[in-house]
Chains A and B, each alone.
Chain A
């Protein structure tokens, strides 16, 4: 269980261990002095220290085993006597030895080396142990360990601020879009001199203005077909309805049909307006002609 000659920074447990080992060395030295030696080889002292440590450990282990062998937990004098006898130690001579060596100077004061974190470094109250943790476990670290700061800010949820933001965003978007259309298409300016300050999207007059109203584009044709089909479905529905309902509903049905027709005409006119602006991004998609080689 000993660490041989490590030059790394020793833990408090190592300090504990080394302090006691040094004490044993001092004890061995004092015993040698008592025996009559003036000096000793370092290797010899180390040998005796190692022997002393292992002797004490062996007595402890063996006494513990004897004690547990008789179904006890606390060792008594008998256990130790039996242990010493087993290790070849003459127990009878022990009192004589004790009396003899009473003249020996009692050296080697006990070592009090308890590692404690200095008070200056601890900050605040440590969290106490919850009930399921035994008390001999180390304590929790200082409370600043658990501090966490979120790296995001909470979004603003004030109604007024949000409405203002939404309105300003919408205005900015509209402005940007119209400027974009003015930059990409033709423009007319209100002022004679300054062309670029307030560009207005040019209103391109057609030679035959009503032509686009009369001739719808392909896209509008598709839309009209869809609306026609939906119209026809509605008309069939309206025709079917009187079979089940009373004749009083015929008036509103006709109104519905006329409203539908007006809607299609309105959509057609709106499409004409878009055609007049002729924004390249609003033109219909031109698909390339695929020639199939047979």
Chain B
């Protein structure tokens, strides 16, 4: 099925354009109220060569469980790519937190912070909180 480039006209209030919420009070002439899929159509063609980290079978398995039957394998790659980006964004935020904690007190200014970063829950929790995901791990008794 040929993908249709839809130009969705956003509502005047509470516009969701480019995936970024634009409050009506802050709207100015530069904000484009239209989300078009034309760049993504071209991108979809490029996806034929590029294989995301998540295999197609795995993504397809989870999509099938949700009731999503993909006609085009490139759609699956797009979704897996989006999910990858989601996780890597969170990981980058957690890395920032980790770096901030490391160099906050100004220790070891001569050499840069050691390259060994470990993802801990203490870093992950504030990173997820920015996305609105609240995780609480129980404190173990031992």
Contact = CB atoms under 8 A, between A and B. Distances in A.
The A interface, classified by DSSP as helix, strand, loop or mixed, is: helix
B78 A93 contact: no
Interface in B95-117: 95, 115-117
Interface in A135-154: none
A51 B51 contact: no
A37 B50 contact: no
A110 B35 contact: no
Contacts of B131: 88
Interface string A1-41: 10000000000000010001001100110111011111111
A57 B65 contact: yes
A98 interface: yes
Given A28-B87, A39-B119, A60-B62, A108 B68 contact: no
A20 B59 CA distance: 9
B62 A20 contact: yes
B34 interface: no
Contact of B41 (A23, A48, A77, A97): A77
A89 to B, nearest CB: 6
A242 interface: no
A107 B52 CA distance: 9
Interface in A98-146: 98, 101-102, 104, 106-111
A222 to B, nearest CB: 93
A31 B124 contact: no
A240 interface: no
User: Which residue, of A43, A44, A77, has the highest number of chain B Cβ atoms within 10 A?
Assistant: A77
A35 B88 CA distance: 7
A64 B75 CA distance: 13
A94 interface: yes
Interface of B: 1, 3-6, 8, 16, 18-20, 35, 37, 39-41, 43-44, 46-47, 50-59, 61-71, 75, 78-88, 90-92, 94-95, 115-121, 123-124, 128, 131, 133, 135, 137
Interface of A: 1, 16, 20, 23-24, 27-28, 30-32, 34-41, 43-45, 47-48, 51-53, 55-61, 63-64, 74-78, 80-82, 84-86, 88-95, 97-98, 101-102, 104, 106-111
17 contacts: A31-B88, A34-B88, A37-B119, A40-B118, A47-B121, A47-B128, A47-B135, A64-B68, A75-B75, A76-B75, A77-B75, A90-B18, A92-B39, A94-B78, A95-B40, A106-B53, A108-B54
